[in-house]
């Protein structure tokens, strides 16, 4: 089954304790991205990756890091989480970047709800 998986689904942590949210896709997609969803703000892109070893900042990258060492994995790293990073996080992937190709479809993971105390 084609899917994007994220782990953990729920996480409560404390300020300053490093954490990693994993994202994996099994569709051989080139493009992957991370979003955060906050009430009234919709989804905002944190980072995206065009392919292995190619990453770039989205609209709200501060406080986050990513890596893309393998095509299937795109972990999101919070080196020193703060309460303003409490949010719902989504990973997404697509064969190509948004809008490229008539068959473009972006697949989303189930989300990770993060609470930073």
- Where do contacts with other proteins occur on this chain (CB under 8 A)? 4, 33, 35, 40-45, 48, 50, 56, 58-59, 90, 92, 97-99, 102, 104-111
8 Å CB contact between 101 and 50: no
CA distance 113 to 9: 6
Q: How far is the CB of 97 from other proteins (least distance, A)?
A: 5
Q: How far is the CB of 45 from other proteins (least distance, A)?
A: 5
Longest CA–CA span in the chain (Å) reads 44
Instruction: Give phi and psi for 84, each to the nearest 5.
Output: -75, 0
Q: ∠ CA 23-64-18 to the nearest 5 degrees?
A: 80
8 Å CB contact between 13 and 117: yes
Q: Which is nearer to other proteins, 16 or 110 (CB)?
A: 110
Q: Which is nearer to other proteins, 61 or 63 (CB)?
A: 61
Q: How far is the CB of 18 from other proteins (least distance, A)?
A: 25
- Residue 77's CB is within 10 A of a number of other CB atoms, namely 14
Q: How far is the CB of 7 from other proteins (least distance, A)?
A: 14
Q: Which is nearer to other proteins, 13 or 107 (CB)?
A: 107
Q: Which is nearer to other proteins, 22 or 106 (CB)?
A: 106
């Amino acid at each position: 089954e084609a899917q994007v998986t994220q782990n953990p689904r729920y996480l409560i942590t404390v300020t300053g304790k490093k954490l990693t949210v994993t994202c994996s896709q099994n569709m051989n997609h080139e493009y992957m991205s991370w979003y955060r969803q906050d009430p009234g703000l919709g989804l905002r892109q944190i980072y995206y990756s065009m392919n292995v070893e190619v990453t770039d900042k989205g609209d709200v990258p501060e406080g986050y890091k990513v890596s893309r060492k393998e095509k299937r994995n795109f972990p999101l790293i919070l080196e020193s989480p703060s309460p303003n990073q409490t949010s719902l996080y989504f990973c997404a992937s697509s064969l190509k970047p948004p809008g490229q190709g008539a068959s473009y479809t972006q697949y989303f993971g189930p989300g990770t709800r993060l609470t930073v105390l």
